[in-house]
């Protein structure tokens, strides 16, 4: 009940003209970056960070959240019309969505995706409204050992599921932590790894690394590969009664599965959409239609990935642990605005949190309105070649990074880390854990020091307190399960190769 009262207050803030405009800009940009090639929500938020620096945190975070869930809608359009998922979470949509487009049914595929996304987004936001405050309240009892364990879990979970290799993901996370040690040690006042340069005393800014890896790095990686593809025509995006009858249960199931999967740290919308697709195929009376244009194969995953996007905000708001790469950047933005992510956010910055949550209800309505009549218009954006888009992105990166500290050295860092980001993309090293490592590094170090001081130097404190122990075990599982699964798969592959004549 208290949550609903707080939500009412959130609506009062979110419905002010300025915040409403930010919400519209956010969902519009999210839709846009979901459609445009070579730029995702992470890059879009990274590029906008310098613009919002020093501005109103509530409006900025409403916009970032809008970009995040709006991109899930936009990614669907590319999946259906050109079979290129705009986001990794829309990979499953492209299987049946593109088949529907080939059969001249691109409109209903996009329509049912929009309706499913709206229903799922609203259900999941309701889940966020009810679950996040309760979780945050429980987490208020957290001390330094629990925070330390939480940071470990967040880093490991994101590292373990980003990219194809757990080893590379964890190494990227450690590299981020390592970069966080550059500059003055806040406890002892000693300057570390500054290479004799005064401008490094403050360390490496989150904005600089994020813009470099997700802006410049993405451009350098994509400029050689982006090619134009034929785009399917969209006539009417309204689904038929039969489409709706076949889709309503997949949408409901996808909403619940997506939310539950999204709440788990590190899992995110991609895994949710995979699970929803497999579940719908198993439950369908016509599994043979899957892969050939079954509308359930669009409705389920689309509902699921949107619900997961809202679900991923639960651990971010309640615990300060991001559920996905993009929420890791939003987490960094919270810190940039001087807020402390974690359970206290609901008590110390409740107006902001509830305004963002309320804006998500509004944003979902805006997206539905935009997507049903304007699907054809957004589809036309697919015809804009990437070669016209990336030079302005580079210009924004340079000017934006300079503007946040008026520092030319930051521009050099952007170029250097941009080249690194290109290499990471090229050799399949995930960038999100590195950003998260940089963001969480100071909390990691201070909570470790406080915990060990409390325990007189013994690490047993992380295992004899139940919550900390549970979080550490969860982190170990996130690390161990993919590694063991990989080893078993490799052994099975070798065994089957050995059986071959």
Partner 1 sequence: MKQKILTGDMAFAGGWTLLGLYWVVGSLDFPLWSGFAPDSGFLPLVYGALLLLLSGGVMISLLLADPDEEEREPLTKSMLVLGALVVVVASLGFIGFLLPVFAMMMFIYLYVERLPLLRSTIISALVTGCLALIFVHWLAVPLPLTPWDF
With respect to partner 1, which residue has the nearer C-beta, 224 or 285?
224
Judged by CB under 8 A, does residue 457 bind partner 1?
yes
Select from 26-34, 203-211, 243-251, 398-406 the region that touches partner 1 (CB under 8 A): 398-406
- Rounded CA separation 408/202 (Å): 15
Instruction: Please give the residues from 341 up to 360 whose contact with partner 1 meets the rule CB under 8 A.
Output: none
With respect to partner 1, which residue has the nearer C-beta, 124 or 172?
172
Minimum separation from the CB atom of position 222 to partner 1 (A): 9
Judged by CB under 8 A, does residue 25 bind partner 1?
no
- Rounded CA separation 400/49 (Å): 8
With respect to partner 1, which residue has the nearer C-beta, 374 or 399?
399
* Burial of residue 193 (number of CB atoms within 10 Å: 0-12, 13-18, 19+): exposed
Judged by CB under 8 A, does residue 483 bind partner 1?
no
With respect to partner 1, which residue has the nearer C-beta, 340 or 387?
387
Residue 29: φ, ψ to 5°: -65, -40
Minimum separation from the CB atom of position 494 to partner 1 (A): 11
- Rounded CA separation 418/416 (Å): 5
Select from 11-19, 267-275, 372-380, 419-427 the region that touches partner 1 (CB under 8 A): 419-427
Q: Give bridge partners of residue 184 from the DSSP assignment.
A: 191
Minimum separation from the CB atom of position 413 to partner 1 (A): 10
CB 404 within 8 A of CB 50: yes
With respect to partner 1, which residue has the nearer C-beta, 139 or 479?
479
Judged by CB under 8 A, does residue 422 bind partner 1?
yes
Q: Extract the tokens encoding 28.
A: 């519009």
With respect to partner 1, which residue has the nearer C-beta, 5 or 384?
384
| Distance, CA of 19 to chain centre | 22
According to DSSP, residue 216 is labeled: I
C-alpha dihedral (336, 341, 346, 347), degrees to nearest 10 = -80
With respect to partner 1, which residue has the nearer C-beta, 470 or 487?
487
Select from 14-22, 89-97, 111-119, 185-193 the region that touches partner 1 (CB under 8 A): 185-193
Q: Extract the tokens encoding 296.
A: 């359930």
With respect to partner 1, which residue has the nearer C-beta, 223 or 469?
223
Judged by CB under 8 A, does residue 187 bind partner 1?
yes
Select from 62-70, 82-90, 175-183, 348-356 the region that touches partner 1 (CB under 8 A): 175-183
Contact with partner 1 (CB under 8 A): which of 408, 480, 488, 489?
A: 408
Detail the DSSP E strand segments found in 119-160: none
CB 235 within 8 A of CB 107: yes
Query: Among residues 88, 70, 66, which one has the least CA distance to residue 79?
Result: 88
Select from 135-143, 314-322, 392-400, 464-472 the region that touches partner 1 (CB under 8 A): 392-400
Sign of the four-CA dihedral 48, 53, 56, 61: positive
Minimum separation from the CB atom of position 59 to partner 1 (A): 14
Instruction: Please give the residues from 32 up to 51 whose contact with partner 1 meets the rule CB under 8 A.
Output: 51
Judged by CB under 8 A, does residue 209 bind partner 1?
no
Minimum separation from the CB atom of position 113 to partner 1 (A): 30
Judged by CB under 8 A, does residue 445 bind partner 1?
yes
- Rounded CA separation 203/185 (Å): 10
With respect to partner 1, which residue has the nearer C-beta, 292 or 449?
449
- Rounded CA separation 65/87 (Å): 16
- Rounded CA separation 421/431 (Å): 7
Instruction: Please give the residues from 301 up to 330 whose contact with partner 1 meets the rule CB under 8 A.
Output: none
- Rounded CA separation 501/494 (Å): 13
Query: Among residues 176, 122, 132, which one has the least CA distance to residue 312?
Result: 132
Contact with partner 1 (CB under 8 A): which of 198, 225, 282, 285?
A: 225
With respect to partner 1, which residue has the nearer C-beta, 22 or 295?
22
Contact with partner 1 (CB under 8 A): which of 228, 340, 412, 489?
A: 412
- Rounded CA separation 438/58 (Å): 23
Q: Extract the tokens encoding 385.
A: 């070649």
DSSP H or E stretch at residue 191: strand 191-192
Judged by CB under 8 A, does residue 459 bind partner 1?
no
- Rounded CA separation 364/123 (Å): 11
With respect to partner 1, which residue has the nearer C-beta, 53 or 274?
53
Judged by CB under 8 A, does residue 238 bind partner 1?
no
Q: Extract the tokens encoding 118.
A: 């709206």
Contact with partner 1 (CB under 8 A): which of 32, 175, 231, 467?
A: 175
Contact with partner 1 (CB under 8 A): which of 388, 460, 496, 500?
A: 388
Residue whose structure tokens are 């699964």: 485
With respect to partner 1, which residue has the nearer C-beta, 216 or 370?
216
Residue whose structure tokens are 């025509």: 233
Q: Extract the tokens encoding 397.
A: 């990166």
- Rounded CA separation 342/446 (Å): 15
**Which residue ranges make up the site for partner 1 (CB under 8 A)?**
51, 165, 167-168, 170-171, 174-175, 177-178, 181, 185, 187-188, 190, 192-193, 216, 219-221, 223-225, 387-388, 390-392, 394-396, 398-400, 402-403, 406, 408, 411-412, 414-415, 418-419, 422-423, 426-427, 429, 444-445, 448-450, 452-453, 455-457
């Amino acid at each position: 009940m208290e949550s609903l009262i707080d939500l009412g207050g959130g609506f009062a803030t979110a419905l002010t003209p300025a915040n409403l405009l930010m919400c519209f800009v956010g969902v519009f940009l999210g839709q846009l970056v979901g459609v445009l090639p070579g730029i995702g929500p992470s890059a879009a938020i990274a590029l906008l960070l310098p613009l919002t620096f020093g501005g109103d945190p509530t409006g900025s975070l409403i916009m970032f959240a809008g970009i995040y869930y709006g991109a899930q809608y936009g990614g669907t359009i590319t999946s259906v019309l050109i079979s290129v998922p705009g986001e990794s979470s829309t990979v499953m949509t492209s299987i049946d969505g593109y088949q529907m487009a080939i059969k001249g049914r691109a409109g209903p595929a996009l329509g049912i995706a929009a309706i499913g996304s709206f229903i799922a987004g609203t259900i999941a936001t309701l889940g966020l409204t009810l679950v996040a405050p309760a979780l945050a309240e429980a987490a208020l009892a957290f001390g330094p050992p629990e925070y330390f364990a939480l940071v470990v879990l967040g880093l490991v979970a994101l590292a373990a599921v980003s990219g194809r290799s757990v080893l590379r993901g964890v190494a990227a996370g450690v590299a981020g932590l390592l970069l966080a040690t550059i500059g003055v040690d806040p406890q002892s006042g000693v300057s570390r790894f500054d290479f004799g340069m005064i401008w490094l005393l403050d360390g490496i800014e989150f904005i600089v690394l994020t813009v470099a890896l997700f802006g410049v790095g993405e451009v350098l990686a994509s400029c050689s590969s982006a090619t134009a593809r034929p785009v399917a025509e969209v006539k009417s995006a309204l689904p038929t009664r039969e489409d709706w009858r076949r889709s309503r249960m997949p949408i409901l199931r996808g909403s619940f599965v997506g939310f539950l999967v999204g709440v788990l740290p590190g899992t995110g919308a991609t895994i949710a959409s995979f699970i929803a697709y497999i579940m719908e195929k198993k439950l369908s009376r016509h599994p043979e239609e899957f892969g050939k244009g079954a509308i359930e194969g669009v409705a389920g995953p689309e509902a699921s990935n949107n619900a997961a996007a809202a679900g991923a905000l639960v651990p971010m708001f309640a615990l300060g642990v991001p559920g996905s790469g993009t929420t890791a950047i939003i987490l960094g933005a919270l810190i940039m605005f001087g807020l402390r992510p974690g359970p206290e956010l609901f008590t110390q910055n409740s107006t902001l949190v509830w305004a963002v949550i309320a804006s998500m209800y509004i944003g979902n309505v805006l997206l539905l309105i935009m997507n049903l009549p304007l699907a054809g218009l957004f589809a036309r954006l697919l015809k804009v070649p990437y070669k016209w888009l990336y030079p302005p992105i580079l210009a924004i990166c340079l000017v934006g990074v300079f503007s946040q500290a008026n520092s030319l050295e930051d521009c050099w860092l952007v170029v250097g880390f941009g080249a690194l980001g290109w290499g990471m993309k090229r050799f399949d090293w995930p960038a999100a854990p590195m950003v998260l490592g940089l963001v969480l590094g100071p909390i990691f170090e201070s909570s470790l020091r406080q915990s060990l001081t409390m325990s007189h130097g013994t690490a047993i404190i992380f295992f004899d307190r139940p919550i900390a122990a549970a979080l550490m075990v969860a982190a170990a599982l996130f690390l161990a399960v993919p590694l063991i699964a990989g080893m078993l798969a490799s052994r099975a592959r070798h065994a089957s190769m050995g059986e071959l004549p």
